[in-house]
């Protein structure tokens, strides 16, 4: 296997529902300090830095202004991806592959507790001419998609509740998670409806936190003392932005992203070659769509695998052993990098009570949330 790029340092802060004691810059500093220590280097050894942020989430325009100091990146090549965490990872990955850099850092954070009503921010992501006049609550878009998915999958809503029970249960073992809980599917379904059939407990709760990853070329990784994990493949894709023209039952962006990553990684049969999956579960039903994309399944097969308990932590295909966003907390575009960090710990065999026995390969699938059709995929493997 020709491992061009490796993940050599992982640093994250525990996700918390509120963080009144820390600014986002202090959280980034904490995550960066951990990541540099983990990789056994200082920011002076880093050739390029990528931050992941969106202006409206930060409440600051041109928010990349505030990235360099706390990363130790002043007067260095720093840029921002106004996008998904895995798009940011991809931006660093291509700089390493191009030869322009040997060591790269990717940073993402969430200070969700500063946003009073995230739905109102999300509503501004709707097309201003065709969609905004409908005054749709963004969760209603998810409700529509969930309904369409369940219809085409010939599944009942209880399978989504099972995802919630599994993920929040897994999160109880995760020291970085904010939403661990013991729940029953009935309790989930009894929670208040947000946009039927979507109910409150099927939506990830918001969380604050920061994550920093250190990447290196294969050559640089050999010099560094940290325990390296191979980035075997990466992919990202955007589908139709308008609500009217998109497919509603399947996550085409995730299929495209996975295929790109698998082709790079040389993966032919993902269900056999991948030991664990960290899939976006901003809404419970999205885990099912993303599972189908990641394993090349027909619409509905993901629901049946889940209903049969095969995606549980001890099952043959563990999905979101970390607890996912439902269990860890949702941190916007940082979520995917938090999950990449969790997958890397699994491959290092350092995931503690979450450890999937003998995990040697993992796939992470991300989504940017309503109303987007953008996502990414990364395949990690043992070196």
**Size of the chain in residues:** 383
Give least dist CB 274 to another protein, A: 21
Q: Do 67 and 53 meet the contact criterion of CB atoms below 8 Å apart?
A: yes
Residue of 10, 39, 81, 337 that binds another protein (CB under 8 A): 81
Cα R_g (the chain), whole angstroms: 19
Strand pairing class (78-81; 48-52) = parallel
Count of residues in contact with another protein, rule CB under 8 A: 63
* Backbone φ/ψ region at 72: left (φ over 0), alpha (ψ -120 to 50), beta: left
Cα separation of 354 and 323, whole Å?
Answer: 9
Give least dist CB 376 to another protein, A: 9
Q: Do 123 and 56 meet the contact criterion of CB atoms below 8 Å apart?
A: no
Stretch that binds another protein, among 7-15, 250-258, 294-302, 356-364 (CB under 8 A): 250-258
Give least dist CB 97 to another protein, A: 4
Please identify, using beta-carbon distances, which residue of 184 and 263 lies nearer to another protein. Answer: 263
Structure-block tokens of residue 371: 């109303």
269 near another protein (CB under 8 A): no
78 near another protein (CB under 8 A): yes
Give least dist CB 79 to another protein, A: 5
Give least dist CB 34 to another protein, A: 22
- Give me the residue label for tokens 């191979």: 230
CA-to-CA separations, 167 to 85, 117, 305, 310, in angstroms, rounded: 21, 25, 15, 13
Please identify, using beta-carbon distances, which residue of 54 and 273 lies nearer to another protein. Answer: 54
- Give me the residue label for tokens 């280097």: 41
Q: Is the dihedral of CA 323, 325, 329, 332 positive or negative?
A: positive
248 near another protein (CB under 8 A): no
Please identify, using beta-carbon distances, which residue of 55 and 186 lies nearer to another protein. Answer: 55
CA-to-CA separations, 1 to 53, 77, 87, 170, 259, in angstroms, rounded: 33, 30, 24, 32, 18
6 near another protein (CB under 8 A): no
Please identify, using beta-carbon distances, which residue of 171 and 234 lies nearer to another protein. Answer: 234
Stretch that binds another protein, among 32-40, 141-149, 232-240, 347-355 (CB under 8 A): 232-240
- Give me the residue label for tokens 């992941």: 52
Structure-block tokens of residue 248: 């509603």
Stretch that binds another protein, among 36-44, 47-55, 177-185, 356-364 (CB under 8 A): 47-55
Stretch that binds another protein, among 194-202, 230-238, 272-280, 340-348 (CB under 8 A): 230-238
Please identify, using beta-carbon distances, which residue of 62 and 182 lies nearer to another protein. Answer: 62
281 CA to centre of own chain? 9
365 near another protein (CB under 8 A): no
- Please count the other Cβ atoms lying within 10 Å of the Cβ belonging to residue 44: 8
Stretch that binds another protein, among 26-34, 95-103, 206-214, 336-344 (CB under 8 A): 95-103
Interacting residues toward another protein by CB under 8 A: 47, 54-56, 59-62, 64-69, 73-84, 87, 90-91, 93-102, 121-122, 124-125, 127-129, 235-242, 252-253, 256, 260, 264, 368, 371-372, 374
């Amino acid at each position: 296997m020709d491992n061009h790029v490796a993940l050599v340092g992982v640093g994250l802060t525990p996700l918390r529902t509120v963080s009144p004691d820390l600014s986002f810059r202090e959280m980034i500093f904490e995550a960066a300090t951990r990541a540099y220590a983990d990789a056994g280097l200082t920011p002076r050894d880093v050739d390029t830095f990528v931050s992941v942020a969106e202006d409206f989430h930060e409440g600051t325009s041109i928010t990349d202004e505030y990235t360099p100091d706390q990363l130790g990146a002043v007067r260095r090549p720093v840029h921002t991806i106004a996008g998904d965490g895995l798009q940011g990872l991809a931006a660093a990955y291509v700089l390493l592959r191009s030869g322009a850099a040997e060591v790269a850092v990717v940073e993402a954070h969430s200070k969700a507790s500063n946003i009073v009503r995230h739905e109102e921010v999300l509503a501004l992501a709707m097309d201003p001419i065709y969609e905004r006049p409908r005054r749709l609550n963004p969760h209603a878009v998810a409700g529509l998609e969930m309904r369409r998915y369940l219809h085409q999958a010939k599944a009942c809503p209880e399978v989504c509740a099972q995802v919630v029970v599994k993920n929040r249960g897994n999160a109880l073992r995760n020291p970085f998670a904010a939403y661990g809980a013991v729940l029953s599917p009935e309790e989930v379904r009894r929670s208040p409806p947000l946009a039927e059939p979507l109910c409150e407990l099927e939506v990830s709760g918001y969380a604050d936190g920061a994550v920093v990853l250190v990447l290196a070329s294969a050559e640089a990784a050999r010099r560094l003392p940290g325990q390296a994990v191979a980035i075997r493949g990466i992919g990202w894709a955007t589908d139709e932005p308008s609500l009217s023209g998109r497919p509603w039952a399947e996550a085409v962006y995730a299929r495209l992203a996975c295929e790109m990553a698998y082709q790079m990684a040389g993966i032919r049969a993902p269900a056999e070659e991948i030991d664990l999956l960290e899939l976006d579960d901003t809404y419970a039903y999205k885990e099912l769509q993303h599972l189908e994309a990641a394993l090349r399944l027909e619409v509905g097969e993901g629901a049946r695998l889940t209903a049969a308990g095969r995606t549980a932590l001890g099952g043959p295909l563990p999905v979101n052993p970390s607890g996912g966003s439902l269990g860890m907390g949702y941190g916007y575009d940082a979520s995917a990098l938090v999950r990449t960090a969790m997958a890397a710990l699994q491959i290092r065999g350092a995931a503690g009570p979450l450890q999937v026995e003998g995990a040697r390969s993992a796939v992470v699938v991300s989504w940017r949330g309503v109303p987007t059709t953008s996502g990414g995929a990364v395949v990690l493997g043992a070196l």
